[in-house]
Structure 1
Amino acid sequence: MLIDKILIGTTNKGKIREFRKLFEDLEIKVLTLEDMPEKINVVEDRETFLENALKKAKEYANFYKLPVITEDAGLEIELLNGYPGVYSARFYKIEFGGVENIGDGETKDEANIRKLLRLLKGKNNRKARFVSNIVFYTPEKFGLWTEGYLYGRIAEEPKGDKGFGYDPIFIPEGYIQTLAEFDLEEKNKISHRGEASYKLKKLLTKILK
């Protein structure tokens, strides 16, 4: 299979930065949705990470006529029966646990974190895991998918400024610092996205020969 370009199907700047680093050694031009002159909006309305990632991959590959890599990822909290899960990016505004308003000058990430810490206040069970499902899909309807996990616990308060999303309150198993205190290369070595990406790279290097 001859491929000289791959489109990363996201506008999330944190994800773009991590994906560019993860796939920089493939010797393929990596594009993102920000590079595309035309934009389409794909609604993530499925019930699982894989279904959301696959929906995005199919629609982007069909529209842009390029091989696409998409991801759906999120945080699952044991005490909250897996929430926020597929609602991770918009957890602040769903009814589960009560709607959390965004304050002046506050980001969605900060509102999500504030809501989650409120729900876990005083709780001993703070077990959590990050989940990543990544899909590679071509306009010719050839597809691959991989998954990655990172287990850990939720901190009592945010720490660090190097990550995004829930990174400031997630402490990986075996560590005392949050993901937001890791350098990018160190984070990619242990993260759910890193694991799923490394698995996909192994598959891609075989089919791209």
Structure 2
Amino acid sequence: MQKKKLVMATANAGKIREIKAQLGEQYDFLSLPDIGCLEDIPEEQDSLQGNALQKAQYVWDHYGYPCFSEDTGLEVAALNGAPGVYTARYAGPQKNPDDNMDLLLKELAQAQDRSAQFRTVICLYLGPDDIHYFEGIAPGKIAPQRLGEKGFGYDPIFVPQGHERSFAQMTLAEKQELSHRGQAVRQLSQFLAQL
């Protein structure tokens, strides 16, 4: 039986590694570089769901592959849900994780409430009339400084609820069990298994 081809609309090596580990061997899993998509796909919507749909639809429209795309936001209570949809480019269009963490830590320096949540929305685009969404939420808090070397993005400053270690101090398996993306990918995997 030939594996189904499925594109994930990202070139982020950290996301690819995490999701590939979860989806397993039932798919011929392709990233954007694998299909020759080297352009920066627009993310112009005002919601995570809107951005996920825009990216997945772009791959379908321009490359003809069934695709899933995700958008993730870090929502900080003391900042009224910011950075939210602007998480990747919080400190500017350069999308630099260190700049983003520096800015967030600076803005929360005097905050009493450091509670936050990561939220991921995945859009699975199998065709214009066959679109599905999956969402995962990981509650937690922002640490006062970076903790750990693993992971990517804001992982060194995000401590999931009920834990003392940041995502960047956890193994990939530990993080996947707790993370927003892990939850959403599990839902995606269960859905795909039924197709």
Whether TM exceeds 0.5 here: the answer is yes
* Contact 1:171 1:179 survives alignment (8 Å): yes
- In the TM superposition, what is the alpha-carbon distance from 1:22 to its structure 2 partner? 1.3
Cα-to-partner distance string for 1:180-204 (whole Å, 9 max, x where unaligned): 0011111111100000111111111
1:169 counterpart = 2:157: yes
Letter paired with 2:92: K
Give the match's secondary structure for 1:189: helix
Give how far 1:91 is off.
0.4
Equivalent residues in 2 for 1:12-161 (5 A)? 12-25=12-25, 27-93=26-92, 108-139=96-127, 141-161=129-149
Unaligned 5+ runs, structure 1? 95-101
Q: What SS class does the counterpart of residue 75 from structure 2 fall into?
A: strand
- Misfit runs of 4+, over 4 Å: none
**CA offset at residue 132 of structure 1?**
0.1
Say which SS state the counterpart of residue 19 (structure 1) adopts.
helix
Q: Is the 8 A contact 2:10 2:69 kept in 1?
A: yes
Q: Matched residues in 2 for 1:120 and 1:40: separation?
A: 34
CA-to-partner distance for each residue in 1:37-88, whole Å, 9 max, x for gaps? Answer: 2434321110000000001111111211111010000100001000000100
Give unpaired runs (5+ residues) of structure 2: none
Match of 2:122, SS state, is: strand
- Tell me if structure 2 keeps the 8 A contact 1:65–1:139: no
Q: Which amino acid aligns with 2:108?
A: L
**Structure 2 SS opposite 1:76:** strand
Give per-residue Cα distances to partners, 1:122-163, cap 9 Å, x unaligned: 221000000000011124541111000000000010011111
Q: Check conservation: 1:62, 1:139, Cα contact below 8 A.
A: no
Q: Tell me how far apart the structure 2 counterparts of residues 140 and 194 of structure 1 sit (CA, whole Å).
A: 26
Which AA in structure 2 matches 1:52?
N
How far did residue 206 of structure 1 move?
Answer: 1.1
Q: Which range moved further: 110-119 or 133-142?
A: 133-142
Q: Measured at CA, do residues 144 and 197 of structure 1 come closer, stay the same or move farther in structure 2, by a change above 3 Å? A: same
TM norm structure 1: 0.88
Letter in 2 for 1:110: D
Partners of 2:3 and 2:28 within 8 A in 1: no
Figure out how many residues of one structure are paired with residues of the other and give that number.
Answer: 194
What's the secondary structure of 2:141's corresponding residue?
A: strand
**Which residue pairs with 2:8 in the alignment?**
8
Q: CA RMSD in A?
A: 1.7
CA distance in 1, matches of 2:108, 2:14: 25
Q: Using the alignment, how far apart are the partners of 1:148 and 1:119 within structure 2? A: 26
Aligned-residue offset at 1:3: 6.6
Q: Distance in 2 between matches of 1:68 and 1:38?
A: 13
CA distance in 2, matches of 1:90, 1:60: 22
TM-superposed CA distance for 1:165, in Å, is 0.6
Q: Does residue 1:184 correspond to 2:183, yes or no?
A: no
